[in-house]
Amino acid sequence: MSNQFPTLHIVDHPLVQHKLSVMRDKNTSVKDFRALVGEIAMLLTYEATRDLPMTTRTIETPICSYEAPVLAGKKLAIVPILRAGLGFEDGILTLVPSARVAHIGMYRDEETLEPHFYFLKYPKDIAGRDVLIVDPMLATGGSADMAITKMKELGCKNIKLMILVAAPEGVKFIYERHPDVDIYCAALDDHLNENGYIVPGLGDAGDRIFGTK
């Protein structure tokens, strides 16, 4: 599906696309699915952190003095939406080990598809951090909207959303409510079905990560 959303960044890399196709296959094991979520999380993080500010530090190489490019030390917090967002956590922390982690708990009512908030634990200085909210599936956008709104209420200003598979309905919803939030994903799928599942999608991401079906 073509991307008509200004805030949506699709990471159209061969490794990402191949790994996602394996994940979509209903015969892929829980063990492989979980490993692949972690691998794609790292590849998406690579793109989502591309604009981190840089500075230089003078170092001595074995040959000479050198003004070496280093991260300027902008502080990051990742915010996995429980529970499927936990699948992204280790992969992101592998690349950004000093990031702080806030957890936000939401479950979606299977009848109404509305998100219900039940948990939030966050670092005290979160308002001063860049925030990366993570959840594998952007379906209606209700949970992501609630998570972004909570982070804004805490004073966070620079917020990004990192997703595995997005539905156009969810991207549109988030874009209309939060045009300041960039969204990074591996794929923009076709539509949501009558049960709120993304088509073609990969099924219930939480069940497939944790083996709870």
Binding residues: 83, 108, 135-143, 198, 203-205
Q: Are 131 and 77 in contact (CB under 8 A)?
A: yes
Cα–Cα distance for residue pair 121/177, rounded to 1 Å: 24
Query: Of 147, 152, 106, which Cα lies nearest the Cα of 126?
Result: 152
Instruction: Write out the binding residues for ligand URA, residues 191-210 only, by CB under 6 A.
Output: 196-198, 201, 204-206
Residue written as token pair 């003078």: 58
| Least distance CB 85 / ligand URA (angstroms) | 11
Mapped onto helix, strand or coil, the DSSP state of residue 112 is: coil
Q: Which is nearer to ligand URA, 131 or 167 (CB)?
A: 167
| Least distance CB 104 / ligand URA (angstroms) | 16
Strand partners, 131: 77, 159
Cα–Cα distance for residue pair 61/208, rounded to 1 Å: 47
Q: Which is nearer to ligand URA, 5 or 197 (CB)?
A: 197
Q: Which is nearer to ligand URA, 168 or 201 (CB)?
A: 201
Q: At what angle do helices 168-177 and 142-153 cross, to 10 degrees?
A: 20
139 binds ligand URA (CB under 6 A): yes
CA dihedral 54, 56, 57, 58 (to 10 degrees): 160
Q: Which is nearer to ligand URA, 43 or 205 (CB)?
A: 205
Residues at the binding site for uracil are 198, 203-205
Cα–Cα distance for residue pair 179/172, rounded to 1 Å: 10
Instruction: Write out the binding residues for ligand URA, residues 69-98 only, by CB under 6 A.
Output: 84
In one-letter notation, the amino acid at residue 57 is R
Residues at the binding site for 5-phospho-alpha-D-ribose 1-diphosphate are 83, 108, 135-143, 204
| Least distance CB 199 / ligand URA (angstroms) | 8
Residue written as token pair 């300041």: 180
Among 137, 148, 186, 188, binds ligand URA (CB under 6 A): 137
Q: Which is nearer to ligand URA, 181 or 198 (CB)?
A: 198
Establish how many alpha carbons lie within 13 A of residue 169's alpha carbon, considering only the half-sphere containing its beta carbon: 14
Number of residues interacting with ligand URA: please give it, by CB under 6 A. Answer: 10
Please list the active-site residues: 108, 112, 204, 207
| Least distance CB 209 / ligand URA (angstroms) | 9
Q: Are 162 and 48 in contact (CB under 8 A)?
A: yes
Residues that bind ligand URA (CB under 6 A): 84, 137, 139, 196-198, 201, 204-206
